[in-house]
Amino acid sequence: MGVTIRPGGISFDCLLNNMMHSKEFKVNNFDLLRLIAATQVIVDHYFQHLKLPISRFGIDLLYLFPGVPVFFIISGYLISASYERNNNIKVYVRNRLLRIYPGLWVCIIVSAIVIHITGVRMFNKQVLAWLPAQFLGLIYTPSFLKDYGFGSYNGSLWTIPIELQFYALLPLCYFLFKKQRFNVYLYCALLVFVVANIVTQVVPINERLSKLISYTFIPHFYLFLLGVLMQRLQLYKSPVIYSRAVYWLIGYIAFSLSLSGVIEPVTYTLIKNIILAFTILALAYTAPTLSKKLLRSNDISYGIYIYHGLILTVAVQLKLANNLNLLILVAASYLLAYLSWIGVEKPFLRRKSKTIHTLPKD
């Protein structure tokens, strides 16, 4: 029998069980998976922005583990769990801001300094409007930087506003969805945004509007919701997920390589991403201590993601692209990311409010 902590409160056994669940839940390989995802984005942008030739099979291999969808799925999984541990909105907002902004602010300052040194005068009226917008996470390339590098001061930052939109929408979902039928509403929302993803790709609209929509949460939110749903259902405990990464990888790779170019692209990508979500979860909870052993709790994926684009665009601006080896780009990105982690991100993350899972799942 459990010992009640407070009148109408939860029992000691219930609290203990939830703490044990939290411990098991947190032992995973998500840091390692994000590192791999960030590295994939480096390779993708290396070929894309330097306009290097790559075979169709090479493209299929490169997009086996697409970085941005992986980030969005993992984000939904982990952030929803964090919110459920403590749904105090002030704590939630503070923790989210500490995760995104310090690293981003330093990256933007470094970017402005480097761009100024490499030929663009950063003391002009447009900068007075542009810099504050970047600090807020409203990422865009101003007209005075359109001809710099490959046409963007840091092409990888486009997902930051989308991630911020996810952060804003998550508490709204928990507020609007009835607690007793939360998962039912979640399934419905997932279906709605799967349809939205399809519509944004198949319905003909002008190029400018299409590009604008792609920079909103609308075509991407289903990936985030997939992560939320898997977390809510505690699928990591399932015998078909836990320690089953090999089977999921074989199935996922077989589907991806055998049906690429065979079925309609929108349908193919949608199904592929759904299978990918389950594969990620299986990888996260197969040999779940691997990430901590290899990375020692250092999470440099965010730094890799936000700095590699700067390195690429500066290389193009200085006409060094032909001399930029992929390994050099990866090494430089890892180095800047590590400095960002040690000097900026980690110190600020220590300020995050700790949460404890005190309520059982419905």
**Lookup result for tokens 């984000």:** 75
Phi/psi at 11 (nearest 5 deg)?
-80, 165
Which pLDDT value is given to residue 199?
Answer: 94
Which residue(s) pair with 4 in the sheet?
A: 11
Instruction: Name the average pLDDT for the chain.
Output: 90
pLDDT at 356 over 60: no
pLDDT classification of 11: cutoffs 50, 70, 90 = low
Amino acid at 43: V
DSSP, collapsed to helix, strand or coil, labels residue 240 as coil
The mean-pLDDT minimum among 87-101, 203-217, 266-280 falls in: 203-217
Which pLDDT value is given to residue 206?
Answer: 86
Name the more confident of 79 and 204. Answer: 79
pLDDT at 360 over 70: no
Which pLDDT value is given to residue 16?
Answer: 44
Phi/psi at 289 (nearest 5 deg)?
-90, 0
pTM for this one?
Answer: 0.90
Instruction: Determine the average pLDDT of the residues in 111-132.
Output: 91
Count the neighbouring beta carbons within 10 Å of the beta carbon of residue 139.
22
C-alpha span between 217 and 193 (Å, rounded):
10
% the chain with pLDDT above 70? 91
pLDDT at 19 over 60: no
Start-to-end CA span in the chain (Å): 20
C-alpha span between 305 and 310 (Å, rounded):
10
Which pLDDT value is given to residue 205?
Answer: 85
C-alpha span between 259 and 318 (Å, rounded):
41
DSSP, collapsed to helix, strand or coil, labels residue 157 as helix
Q: Using the 8-state DSSP alphabet, how is residue 153 labeled?
A: S
DSSP H stretches of helix in 87-124? 89-117
C-alpha span between 356 and 354 (Å, rounded):
7
pLDDT at 9 over 80: no
Of how many residues is the chain composed? 362
Spatial CB neighbours of 257, under 8 Å, sequence gap ≥ 6? 60, 64
Outline where DSSP puts E strands in 151-296: none
Instruction: Determine the average pLDDT of the residues in 164-172.
Output: 97
Q: Which of these, 181, 269, 184, lies nearest to 223 by C-alpha position? A: 269
Structure tokens at 18: 């939830």
Q: Do residues 115 and 153 lie in contact, with contact meaning Cβ atoms separated by under 8 Å? A: yes
- Domain coordinates of the chain in residue numbers? 29-349
C-alpha span between 117 and 333 (Å, rounded):
20
Q: Do residues 97 and 124 lie in contact, with contact meaning Cβ atoms separated by under 8 Å? A: no
Which pLDDT value is given to residue 3?
Answer: 40
